[in-house]
Structure 1
Amino acid sequence: MYKTLTIVSDTAICYKNGTYYGFNAVVNEIKSFENLFDKIIWIGYNYPERHSDKTLIEIESKNVEVVLLKKLGGKSIFALIAILLNYPLIFFKILKYIREADVVHTRAPSHPAFIATVISFFWKNKIWWHKFAGSWNAETLPFFYKFQRNLLVRAKHSKVTINGFWDNQPKHCLSFENPCLTTDNIIRGKEIIQFKKFDGRFTLCFIGRLDESKGVDVILASLKQIDLDKIEKIHFIGNSNSTKRSFFEKEALFLNDKAIFHGFLGKDKVHQILSESHFLLLPSKSEGFPKVIAEAACYGTIPIVSTVGSIPHYITDSNGFLWDKEVAISFEEILMSAFEEKVNFLENKSRNLSILAEKFTFTNYLTKLKSDILL
């Protein structure tokens, strides 16, 4: 067991009624390995305005000490000035907690992770574990993300966990599946897959931020060209600003009561909807590997997704449908071909997804963490 782990991230955290709440995916990830450390210091961004956000859950562990940073970001000249002015303050705050750590875990791409990565080059007598959550394909990254990626490639004194499997991947950059599923999820998922049928109208699901980068506009434009008798329901899970959400709700009026905009939902409700759905739609413009694909796979919900990031490393013709937006075939055509496939063909794809889901369990994650990172 190690004494102290310091996590450096831009994860959303808020404080209300004497309790800290953090983004659910990260809270659950930390729960899976917290017993390996006497103390965990978790540095994240303060989001007081998100006190009612359903994606934030209670940080229950008593050995997690939360340190809040003022959030940075934006592309305006004023935002860039604020970032530059706050960098020295954040640098010394992060440095203070790195001093206490035996192991330092950064979650990139982010400003705090970038600062910690720079420090790592001058303080190599610790275990440095950097997680790069975005796409590892440099050609698709914005400038700052690409800069961080290239810095991590040079950080050979550390271990870097990334999405997918890439040509010429440096030895210290390790392919890691981000955990999101429990053993109980897998057991329940296998039971649901066994009885899931594709011989009637289809229930569709989208999970993510409601904007064009996630392909919500592509989904709605495609559905306008498809026989609606084939569709039972389409669930939109996720949110955006009120203006954008209202825009998409108006664009979906042609679906009548078939379209349901849920906003943010808790994990149990998301899994319930996935268990009832036949297809996950995610024609994103950019991704690393979205956990929602693994969650959908757990319940045999067939992904119809774009070929970005490491998605094609896991989704193939045997377990889903891939849309390459660089070729002439439209997402609408991919959708129609999926709807028109033979029942047994779709059911085979659904069953094959169970194998994929098992890669994304917390048990598998903890095993790899012990053997590959915490040596």
Structure 2
Amino acid sequence: MKLAVATICSHLEHDGRWWSFEPFVLELNVWAELFDELIMVAPVEEGPPPPMWAPYAPQARVRVVPYRRQRGRGLKQERTSAGELPRMIRSLVVAARQADALHARAPGSIGLVAILLGRLLGRRRIAKYAGQWPEYDGEPRSFRWQKRLLRSLWWGAPVTVYGDWPGQPRHVVPFFTSVMSGEQMTAAAAVAAGRRPRRPPRVLFTGRLSRAKNVHVLLAALARLRRRGLELPLTVAGDGSERPALARQAAALGLASQVRFLGAVPHASMHRCYRDADVLVLASQTEGWPKALVEAMAYGLVCIGSDRGLVPQLLGDGRGLTVAPGDEDALTQALEAVARDPAAHLAMGRAAAAWARRFTLDELRESLRRLMIRSWHLPAGALGGAAPR
């Protein structure tokens, strides 16, 4: 079977292979194991791959039908205009006619078009909503439209969402994602099992450096703790538009010697960052499935996340701490509690590691296989052959 995938993730061809944003590629490699070919309906650009991009697996058969060209670089893409709609529709129809099934990835402009046209294209359908499923203050109207369409009978096909939320129609399926292999998860479990209390605990942030990630709030909290005699080292693994401002803020707060900015770190190199840290802070304004949070849990870190969306479910039952995004007082208190008694929080990290170890790429592949075979009424051996024993 061939699968058409409607995505806003830009692609480029380099050294004879298609490349895209690394976390996206790691997940789509799983889909490529289930289908004979992936036909990506996506933006296309030229030039060498930007940081944090990766090629698809050598065995993955990937083809791209572009709906826009050279309209940005990496994750920085121009907003979609109404004038692009005919090209988007044409590209989606071309890909769907060559495929047996359609995968709409939302939120995003091409995802919205795929949701609207999916039933008319006469193909098996499955959607993924990759953002925060419950509505939230300040949410773009187009995101809310996409959620309402996906809940409706018009779409009427499986929609995977992050978290188990009450009052959803049957075709809205609680799901997860992963970018960690079974081997990587085993290595993480070994690190978690060997953790010991460390004073002062080392803090990690990993992710895109945008204002919504609230790294500026983390720096302010660390400055307050420094004035109280607690100097917590911070490693920032990631890049983005906020990096220059964050570096200036760290210097102005007297944290220059305490904070390391690593820039973009490939996923394969994140093992060392998780191994060397004790606490992860990811208190964003919104999150879908925060991969970095679940990865840090697998490594046994004490995780501090926001009290929004799915995060309280992930960190519930003593697996971590939550604070309101942007609440400097609450974040300072949480970090201080860990810093003053790191031994008392070891059990929290161990509970997090035990819970997170099931979220591997292998389990993602088999969960997707089961869902599509059941929903599309396919024979048991469909989609990449029989499941491995």
TM-score, normalised on structure 2?
A: 0.87
How is 1:166-315 mapped onto 2 (pairs within 5 angstroms)?
Answer: 166-227=165-226, 230-231=230-231, 233-241=233-241, 244-253=242-251, 254-315=254-315
Instruction: Measure how far apart 1:211 and its partner are.
Output: 2.5
Would the alpha carbon gap of residues 282 and 82 (structure 1) be closer, same or farther in structure 2, given more than 3 Å must change? closer
**In 2, Cα distance between the equivalents of 1:165 and 1:32?**
23
Q: Give the deviation of 1:135 after TM superposition.
A: 0.5
**2: distance between equivalents of 1:19 and 1:35?**
17
How far residue 233 of structure 1 moved from its aligned partner, in angstroms, is: 2.6
Q: TM-score, normalised by structure 1?
A: 0.90
Q: CA deviation at 1:98?
A: 0.9
The residue aligned with 1:106 is 104
Q: Structure 2 CA distance, aligned partners of 1:213 and 1:355?
A: 29
| Equivalent position of 1:22 in the other structure | 20
- The residue type paired with residue 318 of structure 1 is G
Moved more, 98-107 or 42-51: 42-51
Residue of structure 1 equivalent to 2:336: 336
Q: Secondary structure at the match of 2:217?
A: helix
| CA apart distance, 1:62 | 4.9
Deviation beyond 6 Å, 4+ runs, structure 1: 71-74
Q: Secondary structure at the match of 1:202?
A: coil
Letter aligned with residue 203 of structure 1: R
AA aligned opposite 1:374: I
Separation in 1, partners of 2:327, 2:265: 34
Measure the CA separation in 1 of the matches of 2:342 and 2:260: 27
Q: 1:240 to 1:325 in 2, by over 3 A?
A: closer
Please give the alpha-carbon distance, in whole angstroms, between the structure 1 residues aligned to 2:258 and 2:28.
38
- Name the structure 2 match of 1:348: 347
Name the aligned partner's letter for residue 219 of structure 2: L
Partners in 1 of 2:325 and 2:259 — Cα distance?
25
Distance, in Å, in 2 between the alignment partners of 1:72 and 1:359 is 39
Residue 322 of structure 2 corresponds to residue 322 of structure 1: yes
Report the CA distance shift for 1:67/1:156 in structure 2 as closer, same or farther (over 3 A): closer
Moved more, 326-335 or 101-110: 326-335
The answer to whether residue 149 in structure 2 is matched with residue 132 in structure 1 is no
**Cα deviation code 1:145-186 (max 9, x no counterpart):** 111111101145210000111110211000111122111112
2:45–2:70 contact (8 Å) kept in structure 1: no
- Partner secondary structure for residue 41 of structure 1: strand
Cα–Cα, structure 1 residues 233 and 69, in superposed 2: closer, same or farther, change >3 Å? farther
Amino acid at match of 2:130: A
Q: Which residue identity is paired with 2:274?
A: L
Look up the match of 1:90: 88
One-letter code of the match for 1:335?
A: L
Q: Tell me the SS of whatever aligns to 1:10.
A: coil
Matched residue type, 2:165: W
Deviation at 1:227, TM superposition (A): 3.0
Residue 269 and residue 231 in structure 1: after superposition, are their counterparts in 2 closer, same or farther (change >3 A)? farther
Distance 1:323 1:366 in 2: 33
Superposed displacement of residue 330, structure 1: 2.5
Equivalents in 1 of 2:188, 2:24: separation in Å?
22
Amino acid at match of 2:212: S
Residues 182 and 95 of structure 1: is their aligned pair in 2 closer, same or farther, counting only changes over 3 Å? same
Structure 2, unmatched stretches of 5+, are 375-389
The aligned length equals 365
Percent sequence identity over aligned pairs:
21
Note closer, same or farther for the CA distance 1:278–1:170 as it changes in structure 2 (3 Å cut): same
1:158 match: 157
The match for 1:366 is: 365
Matched to 2:188, the amino acid is: G
Amino acid at match of 2:271: H
Distance 1:208 1:325, change over 3 A: closer
Which of the pair is proportionally richer in helix? 1
Deviation at 1:126, TM superposition (A): 2.6
Which whole-Å deviations, capped at 9, do the CAs of 1:73-126 have from their partners, x for residues lacking one? 99xxxx999610011111111111112221211111011111111111324x43
Deviation at 1:22, TM superposition (A): 1.2
Structure 2 residue matching 1:67: 3-state secondary structure? strand
Q: Distance in 2 between matches of 1:173 and 1:281?
A: 30
Asked if 2 retains the 8 angstrom alpha-carbon contact of 1:8 and 1:43, the reply is yes
Deviation (angstroms), 1:260:
0.9
The CA RMSD over aligned residues, in Å, is 2.4
The residue number in structure 2 matching 1:53 is 51
Q: How has the CA–CA distance of structure 1 residues 191 and 7 changed in structure 2, closer, same or farther, with 3 Å as cutoff? A: same
Q: Which moved more, 1:17-26 or 1:320-329?
A: 320-329
Aligned to 1:32: 30
